[in-house]
A and B are shown apart, each in its own frame.
Chain A
């Protein structure tokens, strides 16, 4: 099944290991060899992006066997969310992928709204989009900083975190907290957008494209960077799809697939942006996708600000008293509002029976949320389709014929967040 058309062939056939697609088994002729060395890479290792453990069999410098062991950060988010009311549950998804928190919050809120059939005011939709894109830049910056750091480009880390801090400042201005904002509510936003947000966000939008140029200037012509990323960790388009890859990994393999374009949610069909796609399926191409996406996200943020500035004074949350908290000032004068407030806070709102699967394009790819409701105030079952979890499944395929030193670059390029892998 050819998916990528026109691009060069990355390799013939498939490289997905068989029978276990996520594990490289030591070839028979090497089994029992005295030259084999089994090494535990992680779970506590600065290059594993958290607590990933890779058990590698080395033959000299080549990796001949590989097994990923996960679960060191398993915290039972899904079980916990079954115990919380719907609106308290919103705080959980953010902590699952702690770099792409707005997108995680968004997907759960969208799932609730889909079950409730709730209409969201336009202003909230655009603000959600604005924050989701800022958050995508934030996530890519942390990825770029840490992935480059692992390959020895230390200064990149400081540059990336400089801009990351600006985004967190914007988060703080809007929601009061720098990360895990819980700013999205079922029905809209938790509060109106503060007035100071627009000029500050504009400054950032003007600044960011120059910053991306700076990052590229730092490494793009660096011989070491080129040597360590080009032609490393190959993944063909067909293998990427068979392994369920999404986001920058899939687009780096030549598949032009972005949920924001293919199945637009929020108002992505009303903004202009391109989907960067690269054809070679190596670490370099995944890096380039990230860089281009930061530019595209900045473009989207700019367009969101244009629209939002015209919406001064419009409502930011739906006027549905069965779901949305009444305005604070009404509590002093209206008995009915007081009752609604009390019921919502103590018991929560009820979500009609049903099951939905909502997917958004998070910074790492297709982030899905499968929710089952029994009609009560708590979710019956919440399941997240975590893009990093799936990305790690591709490690074995990307690592075939690789050297131990490439492993750092390859695992880094898959852009995994262990919180999301283990949930």
Chain B
């Protein structure tokens, strides 16, 4: 398979990690293998993965750490992740029902090629990943914000984007 890095089998689900640069090649190969259905694209941010006190929350503007006590003291530290962002492509083969997760790991600002040419359904999934997670998709025909306003600042699903931190405007002057 083009761009193959490693394969994992966890919980009965097969994950294939590929190099981001050769993602499209890999996806075309897989579509040829019968994976004609792209179910989902999920982006995940691993900033602060395995560090104390940042599992899901960093803090509000006034410095409160709402993370305690729940996320403190993991029983064991999770396996380190290679890079900050993971893009997971959940594939399905109809009609035989095989499933596969293709994963590409990205550093901040590292682009990932668009797979719209392979599966047209990737259009909105990739726009959502760009909008909410700030993933740079290269070669997407229409990479604009999907769920948030065009002038929104930041990408809310990133771990360094605090909840309750967005400014609320009450009048035109503010």
Contacts and interface: CB of A to CB of B under 8 A. Distances in A.
Given A79-B157, A374-B78, A381 B45 contact: yes
Given A79-B157, A359-B39, A393-B121, A375 B97 contact: no
B146 A374 contact: no
A350 B73 CA distance: 11
Interface of A: 1, 3, 16, 19-23, 70-71, 74, 76, 78-80, 82-83, 85, 114-115, 241-244, 255-257, 262-263, 347-348, 350, 353-357, 359, 366, 368, 370, 372, 374-381, 383, 385, 389-390, 392-393, 422-423
A230 B101 CA distance: 38
28 contacts: A21-B116, A21-B120, A21-B121, A71-B147, A74-B147, A82-B57, A114-B11, A115-B11, A242-B121, A244-B119, A256-B95, A262-B97, A347-B70, A348-B70, A357-B88, A370-B88, A370-B90, A372-B44, A374-B49, A374-B50, A374-B74, A375-B76, A376-B55, A379-B56, A380-B56, A381-B44, A389-B124, A390-B124
Interface residues of B, number: 54
Main secondary structure on chain B at its contact with chain A?
A: loop
Interface string B107-146: 0000000001001110110000000100000000110011
B120 A368 contact: no
B124 A22 contact: yes
Contact of A376 (B44, B74, B132, B141): B74
B71 to A, nearest CB: 5
A378 B69 CA distance: 12
Nearest to A390: B121
Given A70-B146, A347-B69, A393-B121, A380 B76 contact: no
B79 interface: yes
A175 B78 CA distance: 37
Interface of B: 10-11, 13, 15, 36-40, 42-46, 49-50, 55-57, 66, 69-71, 74-76, 78-79, 88, 90, 92, 94-95, 97, 99, 101, 116, 119-121, 123-124, 132, 141-142, 145-149, 156-157, 161, 163
A357 B71 contact: no
A241 B34 CA distance: 12
A43 B149 CA distance: 14
A67 B120 CA distance: 16
Nearest to B50: A374
A377 B39 CA distance: 28
A242 B120 contact: yes
